[in-house]
Structure 1
């Protein structure tokens, strides 16, 4: 019995609906709060803060709490989740401390540059770091992982450029909508577009089918 315990913990699965709520909840809360508070100014300790800054201060602990709950429910966090939380704390903290919303707007750029750069370094070393994150849900052969990783690297760099262009040239309202809805939609569209690659390089058919189901 004790020998089975670690395996049980490692295999903890989370309801997809709960997972989506925990991952998207803080982002949607930020959007809703921003819409309500965007035209308001709050004076705290003699300093005026916009609704955007106030919602940034709310978003940081919300994301930290949801990440903690994800860890408690699943027993693990991906490198992407950890790095996202770290960068949100750093750039969100700078936004609040310096009372300058530009730092929070830069955060997606830094995240996507970091992830894209990491994938690029892995490819130069002949490795697919993406397979370490998605290997459990997307069984691909080595060539498939290389191709998908390369495309994902370019996609991350494109998102970084898009984020810079939008926050530097457009109003805050536009950037908030892009961050809340545009980025998740772009991510879904990217993976949907990779359907052909995934089917060509899938290794699911290579999985032995004569395994006896566990009682």
Structure 2
């Protein structure tokens, strides 16, 4: 899939959430976010005949916590969703490591081949990053108003994640298996 299209499918619902929150408020934004998430997942399925694990899990929680937000008219639920999703990802990754499995390998093994040590370190770092995201979400939603939380979710989390991802490149290059290394 074209990288720009992939980005649009992954970040588009969040951008729509931001816009609708600014124009119509958190409850309308939540409903539109839920619909946009379903559309993005459906488009992904139509284009690739598969659903990426992380957007699928996140989409499930958008439906559950978005539904609770709308049903109970309480924005607390949509604000807690990132904390719960990121904590779940961290627990799964740390749990895999505890059982001797680097669970990022099945997800990204087709993209690049790393040594077992490289997969372990990368998995540990991502698990820690998910803990960081969960904690930061808690701090922001508990200490700032809803609009600030939405702004943070849209304009800070994505750049932070991109910077973190790029910061993993030295590890990936250092632990790349020889047949996967680019020619010098």
Shorter-chain TM-score range:
over 0.9
- State the Cα distance separating 1:139 from its structure 2 match: 2.2
The structure whose Rg is larger is 1
Query: Are 1:23 and 2:19 counterparts?
Result: no
State the TM-score, normalizing by the size of structure 2. 0.94
> 2:19 maps to which residue?
32
After superposition, residues 21-170 of structure 1 pair within 5 angstroms as 21-37=8-24, 51-170=25-144
Give the structure, 1 or 2, with the largest relative contact order (CA under 8 Å, sep 6 or more): 2
Cross-structure match for 2:149? 175
Report how many residues are paired: 182
Spell out, residue by residue over 1:66-109, the C-alpha distance to the aligned partner (whole angstroms, 9 max, x if none).
Answer: 11110110111122122111100000000000000010000000
Residue 24 of structure 1: how far off its partner (Å): 1.2
Assess if the C-alpha contact under 8 Å between 2:112 and 2:180 holds in 1.
no
1:53-78 per-position Cα deviation (integer Å, ceiling 9, x unaligned): 11101110110111111011011112
Instruction: Write 1 or 2 for the structure with the bigger share of helix.
Output: 2
The question of whether the paired residues in 1 share the 8 Å contact of 2:65 and 2:81 is answered with: yes
User: Which consecutive unaligned segments of at least 5 residues does structure 1 have?
Assistant: 1-13, 38-50, 209-215
Gaps of 5+ in 2: none
TM-score by length of structure 1 reads 0.81
